[in-house]
């Protein structure tokens, strides 16, 4: 897989995030959640290394049919396209990401945090929950993963 390839979840990958039928290891599942069509294979490799995910994770997920790749757009086109997604889209993506990752880390113990997330209606309100989010992820998955997921949540919020 080329490091410039954009990695996205297949329909099977989306179903796996929802159903947990393959019983993926938690760190591998967390990185699968992060694959939203905006990160390259190279960036995902960097993130995975920080999280302690095995280096062959992309090949494993692709062999399972959970992900697929496509070539990244030229930088100028990508910058123009990605530069300013609508605030509502950024908010929904960040809220979903935070919810999915905290539930992945804590399971049912994430219930109170997810209620707080549901009461957020702006990116600023999501930022206000960032410390609680990091604390919850660290509790369930460790400080290293919490740091990586915090950065991704902040990128999504904008």
Same domain, 52 and 97: no
Instruction: Give the pLDDT band of residue 89 (cuts 50, 70, 90).
Output: confident
In angstroms, the CA 44 to CA 80 distance is 22
Whether the predicted pLDDT of 69 surpasses 90: no
Average pLDDT over residues 24-38: 87
Same domain, 74 and 34: yes
Mean pLDDT (the chain) is: 86
Average pLDDT over residues 37-60: 89
For residues 44 and 7, the answer to whether their CB atoms sit within 8 Å is yes
Whether the predicted pLDDT of 1 surpasses 80: no
| 91-143 confidence digits (pLDDT tens) | 999 999 999 999 989 999 999 999 999 999 999 999 999 999 999 999 998 99
Name the residue with higher pLDDT: 25 or 85: 25
Same domain, 127 and 103: yes
For residues 44 and 72, the answer to whether their CB atoms sit within 8 Å is no
Q: What is the pLDDT of residue 22?
A: 85
Residue 38's Cα: distance from chain center in Å? 10
For residues 134 and 150, the answer to whether their CB atoms sit within 8 Å is yes
Whether the predicted pLDDT of 76 surpasses 50: no
Same domain, 57 and 113: no
Same domain, 67 and 135: no
Same domain, 60 and 113: no
Could you say which DSSP state residue 83 is in?
Answer: S
In angstroms, the CA 50 to CA 95 distance is 23
In angstroms, the CA 145 to CA 158 distance is 20
Q: What is the pLDDT of residue 81?
A: 45
Q: For the chain, what is the domain count? A: 2
For residues 145 and 136, the answer to whether their CB atoms sit within 8 Å is no
pTM of this structure: 0.71
Average pLDDT over residues 18-29: 86
Full residue range of the structural domain in which residue 21 is found: 5-82
For residues 62 and 68, the answer to whether their CB atoms sit within 8 Å is yes
Residues facing residue 36 across a β-bridge:
8
| DSSP run (H or E) holding 5 | strand 5-9
Q: Among 50, 82, 114, identify where a domain stops.
A: 82
Q: Among 82, 108, 136, identify where a domain stops.
A: 82
Percentage above 70 pLDDT, the chain: 91
Same domain, 135 and 91: yes
Q: Among 82, 115, 139, identify where a domain stops.
A: 82
Same domain, 95 and 75: no
Same domain, 100 and 43: no
């Amino acid at each position: 897989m080329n490091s410039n390839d954009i990695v996205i979840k297949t329909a099977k990958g989306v179903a796996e995030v929802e159903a947990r039928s393959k019983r993926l290891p938690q760190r591998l599942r967390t990185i699968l959640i992060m694959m939203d069509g905006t990160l390259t294979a190279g960036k995902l490799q960097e993130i995975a290394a920080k999280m302690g995910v095995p280096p062959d994770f992309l090949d494993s997920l692709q062999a399972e049919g959970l992900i697929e790749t496509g070539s990244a757009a030229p930088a100028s086109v990508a910058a123009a396209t990605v530069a300013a997604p609508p605030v509502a889209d950024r908010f929904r993506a960040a809220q979903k990401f935070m919810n999915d990752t905290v539930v992945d880390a804590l399971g049912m113990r994430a219930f109170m945090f997810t209620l707080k997330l549901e009461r957020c209606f702006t990116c600023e309100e999501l930022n206000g929950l960032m410390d609680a989010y990091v604390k919850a992820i660290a509790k369930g998955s460790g400080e290293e993963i919490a740091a990586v997921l915090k950065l991704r949540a902040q990128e999504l919020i904008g």
